[in-house]
């Protein structure tokens, strides 16, 4: 078990190495460059060449890469070309916001998705099931930013139930501990701050949760249907067990295996959705950093964030594999 975890953690190193190489090359293949983006209208070929020399971008790309690699091994991922701050500090400031949003979205998706998928499977072919199947299809198909704008227009602008943007009202004087606004409020007993942050969180979390919710619901439904038709469920019924025992003990646990894989994959995809959601709700997290970074060709920032995302992805999938071992005794972790 421990050896498995250590080995999997070591696998992160080559993964990140290859990814950094691809990313480095890919960013430099994008048309335009940081110099042109930074200079904007005032760009002349001479000025661009001058700035490229200052930034070291006139060097051969392999050389640039090895310098970058050497620095990042010491923990220096460079300074943002936009703000001039170390990208590590930028990420540190923005991460709690995105983390809060992603965790909230994932909670919604899992807590609603699994029961919904289960109930749909149980009442297969009935109106409830049909509604769920169609609803989840729509959920997967609707673009996140479009849904974000709709939610904002209806529930924030028209109805005024929730604030339209930001993470906390300006009037609230909240103490910052971890940067997770809802959590900090609970920690410092500033419950009004917590409540305010939670109200800000609702709409963006729903927007971001839609796709994972739909996918988790569909996978749960399919998986439960599959297990319901299996021989051991027939055996359980042949014992005369109460329907609740059959479902809880025999169906659900087996059905959760594919679902846990799906949760892992969806967690990885949340970052992409976060870029759009944060844009719509002016959230100011990692997604905002990415959006700005792409517009302005901020190489160091983008490199660091994508590597961070990849690291998180690998970790989440490690957790999924561990959960497999918990659920299914046939899975041996070696």
Partner 1 sequence: MTTPLLEVADLGVAFTRKGEPDSVAVDGVSFDVQPGEIVGLVGESGCGKSVTSLAIMRLLPERGVRVTGSVRMEGTDLMTLSDSAMREKRGRDLSMVFQDPLSSLNPVIEIGLQVTEVLRRHRGLKKDAARREAAELLERVGIPDPRRRLDSYPHQLSGGMRQRVMIAIALACRPRLLIADEPTTALDVTIQAQILELLKELVADSGTALVMITHDLGVVAGLCDRVNVLYGGRIVERSERHRLFGTPRHPYTYGLLGSIPRLDAPPGEDLAAIRGSVNDNLPWAHACAFAPRCPRALERCSEVSPPPELAGGRFLRCHNPVPAEA
> Least separation, in Å, of the C-beta of 325 and partner 1?
11
Tell me: does residue 84 bind partner 1 (CB under 8 A): no
Q: Any idea how long the chain is?
A: 334
Judged by CB under 8 A, the number of residues near partner 1 is: 22
Report phi then psi at 79, rounded to 5.
Answer: -105, 150
Among 53, 67, 71, 234, binds partner 1 (CB under 8 A): 234
Interaction with partner 1 in 309-328: which residues (CB under 8 A)? Answer: 327-328
Residue 50 or 129 having the CB closest to partner 1: 129
Concatenated DSSP letters of 242-259 = -HHHIIIIIIIHHHHHHH
With CA atoms as reference, report the closest residue to 305 among 284, 320, 319, 291. Answer: 291
Q: Does 167 bind partner 1 (CB under 8 A)?
A: no
CB of 327 to partner 1, least distance (A): 6
Per-residue binding letters, 92-131, with partner 1 (x by CB under 8 A):
---------------------------------x------
* Least separation in angstroms between CB 226 and partner 1: 13
Query: Binder to partner 1 among 173, 231, 244, 334 (CB under 8 A)?
Result: 231
Cα Dmax for the chain:
84
Which of 211, 214, 236, 274 binds partner 1 (CB under 8 A)? It is: 236
Rounded distance, CA 101 to CA 139, Å?
A: 19
Which range, of 184-192, 193-201, 227-235, 302-310, touches partner 1 by CB under 8 A?
A: 227-235
CB atoms within 10 A of CB 122: 17
Pick from 64, 230, 292, 317 the residue near partner 1 by CB under 8 A. Answer: 230
CA-nearest of 319, 306, 318 to 271 is 306
Burial of 273 per CB tally in 10 Å (0-12, 13-18, 19+) = buried
Of the candidates 61, 55, 52, the residue with the CA atom closest to the CA atom of residue 28: 61
**171-176 long-range Cβ contacts below 8 angstroms, 24+ apart:** 172/196
Q: Which two tokens stand for residue 311?
A: 């690291």
Q: Which of residues 246-305 bind partner 1 (CB under 8 A)?
A: 249-250, 253-254
* Piece of 31-39, 133-141, 241-249, 276-284 that binds partner 1 (CB under 8 A): 241-249
Give the Cβ contact number of residue 168 at 10 Å. Answer: 21
Binding site for partner 1 (CB under 8 A): 125, 230-232, 234-242, 245, 249-250, 253-254, 327-330
């Amino acid at each position: 078990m421990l050896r498995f975890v250590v080995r999997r953690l070591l696998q992160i190193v080559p993964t990140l190495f290859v990814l950094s190489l691809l990313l480095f090359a890919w960013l430099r293949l994008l048309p335009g460059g940081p110099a042109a983006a930074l200079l904007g209208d005032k760009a002349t070929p001479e000025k661009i060449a001058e700035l490229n020399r200052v930034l070291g971008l006139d060097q051969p790309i392999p050389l640039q890469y090895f310098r970058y690699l050497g620095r990042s091994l010491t923990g220096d991922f460079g300074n943002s070309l936009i703000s001039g701050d170390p990208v590590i500090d930028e990420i540190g400031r923005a991460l709690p916001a995105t983390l809060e949003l992603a965790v909230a979205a994932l909670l919604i998706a899992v807590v609603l998705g699994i029961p919904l998928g289960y109930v749909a499977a149980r009442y297969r072919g009935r109106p409830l099931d049909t509604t769920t199947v169609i609803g989840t299809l729509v959920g997967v198909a609707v673009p996140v930013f479009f849904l974000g704008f709709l939610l904002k227009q209806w529930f924030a602008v028209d109805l005024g139930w929730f604030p339209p943007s930001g993470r906390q009202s300006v009037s609230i004087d909240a103490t910052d501990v971890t940067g997770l606004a809802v959590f900090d409020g609970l920690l410092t007993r500033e419950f009004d701050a917590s409540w305010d942050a939670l109200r800000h969180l609702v709409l963006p979390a729903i927007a971001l949760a839609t796709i994972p919710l739909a996918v988790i619901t569909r996978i749960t439904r399919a998986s439960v249907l599959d297990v319901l038709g299996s021989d051991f469920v027939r055996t359980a019924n042949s014992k005369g067990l109460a329907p609740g025992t059959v479902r809880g003990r025999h169906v659900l646990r087996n059905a959760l295996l594919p679902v846990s894989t799906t949760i892992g994959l969806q967690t990885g995809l949340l970052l992409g959705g976060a870029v759009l959601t944060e844009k719509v709700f002016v959230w100011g997290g990692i997604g905002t950093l990415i959006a700005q970074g792409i517009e302005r060709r901020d190489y160091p920032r983008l490199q660091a964030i994508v590597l961070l995302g990849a690291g998180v992805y690998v970790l989440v999938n490690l957790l999924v594999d561990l959960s497999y071992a918990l659920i299914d005794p046939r899975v041996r972790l070696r």
